[in-house]
Amino acid sequence: MFLFARLLRVAKFFAPPGTQRIFSKICNPIVRNTLLTFPLALASLVCCGQAVLPVASTEVPPASATAAVKELAPAELAAMLGSPGVFVYDCNEEDMHAYAHVPGAKLLVYDQVTAEKLPPDHSATLVFYCYSPECPAGASAARAAMALGFTDVYCMVAGITGWQDAGLATEP
């Protein structure tokens, strides 16, 4: 903010004679703050995907898209491994997946969940996880799978760090 004000003061001296009054108004702190704050606030709303004016939607999302993602503890997932119809997806980065992942887990980027990358049986058990409880990628991927119509979807919120903290084996 300070640099902007200083640049305006310098530019005022090089401006044509009739425009110096405009620069004086812009250099006023109240006007300057208003001119800077409004576009920044508007840009932040647009960048965050928020509409400036809320619009009511008449569409009703499918029940699977609004249902909460079921959470799963590492020990519960360990007991499920090897069962038919259980698919485990690692939503970490490729290098983290190469370093350590739940045995049998497939790498799946959280924002690239499509029906083609998931099993054809929509009643199959899907488990997603990411790095740690602070990472939202696993839950985001699980919600995307639910939106595609999958009904038995879980998220191991503890992530791969929780899996390792539980003393469970990983595959490199």
pLDDT, tens digit, for every residue of 146-163?
A: 999 999 999 999 999 999
Rounded to the nearest angstrom, the gap between the alpha carbon of residue 43 and the centroid of all alpha carbons in its chain is 19
Same domain, yes or no: 156 and 82: yes
The model's pLDDT over 13-42, given as tens digits with 9 standing for 90+, comes to 555 666 555 545 555 555 555 555 555 555
Question: Using alpha carbons only, what angle is made at residue 39 by residues 38 and 44, rounded to the nearest 5 degrees?
Answer: 100
Q: Which domain holds residue 26?
A: 2-47
For residue 97, what is the domain's CATH number? 3.40.250.10
149 lies in some domain: yes
Tell how far CA 105 is from the center of its chain: 21
pTM, 2 dp: 0.61
Same domain, 31 and 94: no
Q: Rounded CA gap, 110 and 67, in Å?
A: 18
Domain total in the chain: 2
